[in-house]
Chains A and B, each alone.
Chain A
Amino acid sequence: MSEEIKKEIMLPKGEELVLSSSPHIHVTENIQSIMLKVVLAMLPALAAAIWFFGIPALLVIFWCVLFCLVLEIIWCRIAGKPASVVKDGSALVTGLLLAMNLPPVTAWWVCLLGALLAIWLGKQVFGGLGQNPFNPAAVARVGLLIALPRQLTYWIPSSGMTADAANYSEVFYAAADFTKIEQAGQVIDGITCATPLSIAQNTPKILDSGVAAADNFAAIANPESYWQYFIGNMGGSLGETSTLAILIGGIILLSFKLIRWQIPLFYLGTVAVFTGLIHLIWPGVTPPPLFHLLTGGLMLAAFFMATDMVTSPITGRGAAIFGIGLGVMTCVIRIWGGFPEGVSFSILLMNALVPLIERMAKLKPFGFRKPTPAKGA
């Protein structure tokens, strides 16, 4: 009887046991789940884009994602990497981020060019995800801005959902041909080709501090316009206009610890302080800080672009230095530079400095003490 029971007891067979060193358990989180959470955080801004700019915006998103995924697969085939790396979701994130950086009406071939710049030049030539020093979406935005300045600064008014359907289809079909977009644009009522930042740049600067100087930016920097900027009702790139939507996404990113909080904090803080000082001294030179925070690509950059894990410093102190550097550069370009907007340039420049920053901002180990000269010897 007891013999029988003993026989029933099953013991592990040695051959099948895996030998490996500790730890023997791991988190369930992986790169794919991280990327999908980033996509989740992007959804509010993408939804806002479609709300304000309509079907054309949706089309741009579609093209960008499609081209990024296809180019990633093609590269993997050529480079002999398993095509399954597409599953890590990073090409999807890059595609969405690229779309957010393009004007709401962008021709498919511009999207294709952007995807090429982002996926191949921005990422794969360096060896793929994790090896790229520059933010792929910023590479694409800057590359396109230099190559196709007209297409990249073609803004439509943010009345997409309410615009009438006929005009839509004009834009829709015209999107293949830039000159036709311009013609179609004429059809849409009240089209402006300006963003608040480009208006600010084109406003003649007043260096003295009289009443005229104080009123210099009153047309674009007043409480009513701030509200419109905040919800995203202004011209600009597809995903950058709605501060509200980006902040919701930012909270998602922060709560999942997908970005280092120091970057948005120090980036936005530096811009606020810097433009605040300039505005205080020469109110006719630049609009108040709130204007700067709410317009252009700053919010998008502070939460979604500069914070890219791969291309930002890994330590908290490094991230803070990075954020401050970004803030200073963005302000300099905005106030004195030749372009109305400077976030993408700033990101690329600071990306290049990351190795240096990391060497400066190494962590001190727990219980660190300054090496004392060896006794005796």
Chain B
Amino acid sequence: MNEQAINKDLKIVSFKGGVHPQKDGKILSKKASIQTAPLLERYQVIVSQNIGAPPKVVVSAGDEVKKGQLLAEAAGFVSVPLHSPTSGKVEGLVDIPGPMGVMTQAISILADGKDEWTELSVSIDWRNSDADTLKKRIMECGIVGMGGAAFPSHVKLSPPPDKKVDYMIINGAECEPYLTADHRVMLEEPEKVLEGAAILGRAAGVKNVVVAVEINKVDAINAMMEKAAQFNVGIVGMKVQYPQGAEKQLIYAVTRRKVPTGALPADVGCIVQNAGTAAAVAEAVNAGIPLIERVTTITGEPVVNPGNWRLRLGTPISEALKLCGGVKCEPGKLILGGPMMGFAQRSTGVSVMKNTSGILLLDKSDVTQYESSPCIRCGRCLEACPMNLQPSALSQLAEAGQYENALKYNVMDCIECGACAFACPAHRPLVQHIRRLKAEIRNRTKKEIKK
């Protein structure tokens, strides 16, 4: 029961701004050890799982596949392959509900129950291997950012040659309320995360590798600190503040470097990778295991037994919820990801993907539809904004349709973290307005280019 004390040597950093949700919901699942889900009869693996080009499907109906066998191959540089979560027969391509509310293509696999591995690539002695070999392996194993964006990891590891990168930051902030998957991975498999971090550092050719963790995960920090020296990896603590794990904020917290407007982390010499991703990298390099399963937090007040589960890609949300005993009462919202940036779903037919960090159910009482009222100019949103924008002004410009003016208020710098909308006492849909502005501005510039 007793919480561990924070190590005195731990450096604690933060960014400026942000919010701290009082009720962060982590208590529901942070003590629950990772459990492995039993084998299902059928998996429906969504094809388009990564940012960039969706991979090209290389199997067809009737094919026998083994666990870990290639299902779809990378289609270009910004793309990663997809592998089979188990052994069995490909039933064909089906349309299932996608995470963005539209139907999406999935490969349906009927499990044969044997769960036989395909022949995996050999282990790489990463300490004596060159960066390209490591990057190639990371790509071949289909690894993407598992925190949410699903950006192919090997692309991040290959910045343009004119950028000198000297920092590898492993993002263990897990600043989204309710989510505890990364927390459990860092606590239960500290060596895997640290080794993955070291491998990522080597693949990027940098010496400074740090894992940055919010200090509400003291047990995980302590577990990693014990072993960190072994891998030459540093551990940094961060204040519990949302969005501490947002890329630019994380880089600033750890290195005090500011990623300039419109620039990439590599412009200030940094690469950020997620903690879960690091663990997956360690498995890929050491054992040749492709990314076919991940740890996901299944939680929320309506869930009977909230917990952290190792789920295979293609596991339908309904099956995942059954593992937790289902729900106690009819929930008001089903969210993939966390409550601040996750996506609300209408169907439990969506399946687990590489970036499904959480399956969250919110109670009906927590999703009352607030009436929004005019801005009282309290300034809460300005204080909350990690990018130092003026969301109140942007929202009014959105209502007035003044896109040109919105640019003067730097609307394109918004990272859509939602901190402003969270903090607004008038319950104004601030980030929703800003998203609309950004989309409209992008459309217009596209049209202009076409002209």
Contact = CB atoms under 8 A, between A and B. Distances in A.
Interface of A: 6, 8-14, 16-31, 33-34, 85, 88, 127-131, 257-258, 260, 309-310, 312, 314-315, 362-369
Nearest to B340: A23
Contact of B101 (A13, A19, A257): A19
Contacts of A11: 318, 321-322, 326-327, 348
A8 B327 CA distance: 10
A28 B367 CA distance: 12
Nearest to A85: B373
A22 B242 CA distance: 14
B346 A22 contact: no
Contacts of A366: 16, 248, 252, 258, 386-388, 413
A25 B376 contact: no
Contact of A367 (B258, B332, B424): B258
Given A12-B361, A22-B339, A26-B421, A17 B344 contact: yes
A363 B340 contact: no
Contact of A368 (B261, B321, B382): B261
A364 B390 CA distance: 9
Q: Is the interface of B mostly helix, strand, loop or mixed?
A: loop
A314 B382 contact: yes
Interface string B326-352: 111011111101011111111110000
Interface in B350-390: 360-362, 366-367, 369-370, 373-380, 382-383, 386-390
Given A26-B421, A363-B390, A130 B376 contact: yes
Contacts of B410: 365, 368
B126 interface: no
Contacts of B334: 12, 17
Contacts of B340: 22-25
A27 B379 contact: no
Chain A CB count within 10 A is highest, among B23, B252, B376, B390, for: B376
Contacts of B109: none
B113 interface: no
Contacts of B341: 22-23
A267 to B, nearest CB: 17
A366 B171 CA distance: 20
Interface stretch (B35-43, B139-147, B219-227, B427-435): B427-435
Contacts of A312: 377
B431 A14 contact: no
Nearest to B261: A367
Closest 9 CB pairs of A and B: A23-B418, A130-B374, A9-B326, A24-B339, A365-B413, A367-B258, A365-B410, A25-B339, A369-B260
B344 A363 contact: no
B330 A34 contact: no
A22 B326 contact: no
A22 B339 CA distance: 7
Given A24-B333, A31-B425, A130 B377 contact: yes
A24 B369 CA distance: 10
Contacts of B327: 10-12
